[in-house]
A = this chain, B = another copy of it.
Amino acid sequence: MAGMDGVTEETVRRRPATLRDVARAAGVSVATVSKALNDQGRMTAETRARIREVARVLGFRPNGLAQSLLRNRSFTVGLLTNDTYGRFSLPVMAGISEALVDNGVSVFLCHVEDDPRLGQLHVEAMLDKRVDGIIATGKRIDRRLPVDLSQLGIPVIYAFTEPAPGAIAFVSDDAGGARLAVEHLVRLGRRRIAHVTGPASFAVVHTRADACGAALAAAGLPAGAPLIGTWSESWGHAAVETLLAGLEPPDAVFCGNDQIARGVIDGLRERGIRVPGDVAVVGFDNWEIMAGQTRPPLTSVDMNLAALGREAGLTLLSLVDGKPVEPGIRTLPCRLVVRQSCGRPPGG
Contacts and interface: CB of A to CB of B under 8 A. Distances in A.
A214 interface: no
Interface stretch (A30-38, A91-99, A334-342): A91-99
A125 B153 contact: no
A233 interface: yes
A69 B63 contact: yes
Contacts of A110: 97, 101, 106-107
Contacts of A13: 151, 153
A128 B16 CA distance: 10
Most buried by B among A61, A84, A94, A129: A129
A104 B125 contact: yes
B293 A234 contact: yes
A128 B94 CA distance: 21
A106 B129 contact: yes
Interface string A170-192: 00000000000000000000000
Interface string A214-240: 000000000000000000111000000
A106 B94 contact: no
A316 interface: no
A153 B14 contact: yes
Contacts of A68: 65
Nearest to A9: B151
Contacts of A129: 64-65, 75-76, 106
A14 B151 CA distance: 8
Contact of A15 (B85, B91, B153): B153
A84 B76 contact: no
Contact of A64 (B111, B130, B234, B295): B130
A94 B101 CA distance: 21
Contact of A232 (B14, B121, B154, B293): B293
Contacts of A85: 90, 289
A97 B111 contact: yes
A122 interface: yes
A75 B66 CA distance: 15
Nearest to A104: B125
A182 to B, nearest CB: 26
Interface string A123-160: 01111111000000000000000000001011000000
B111 A108 contact: no
Contacts of A104: 125
A118 B100 CA distance: 12
Nearest to A108: B106
Contacts of A234: 293, 295
Contacts of A295: 234
A109 interface: yes
Contact of A109 (B65, B93, B270): B93
Contacts of A161: none
Given A14-B153, A69-B69, A90-B84, A109 B293 contact: no
7 contacts: A16-B127, A16-B130, A61-B128, A63-B130, A65-B65, A86-B86, A234-B293
Q: What are the nearest 4 A-B pairs in CB distance?
A: A109-B109, A64-B128, A86-B90, A233-B293
Given A106-B125, A232-B293, 13 more contacts: A16-B127, A64-B130, A65-B68, A75-B129, A76-B129, A84-B90, A84-B94, A85-B90, A85-B289, A101-B121, A101-B122, A106-B110, A106-B126
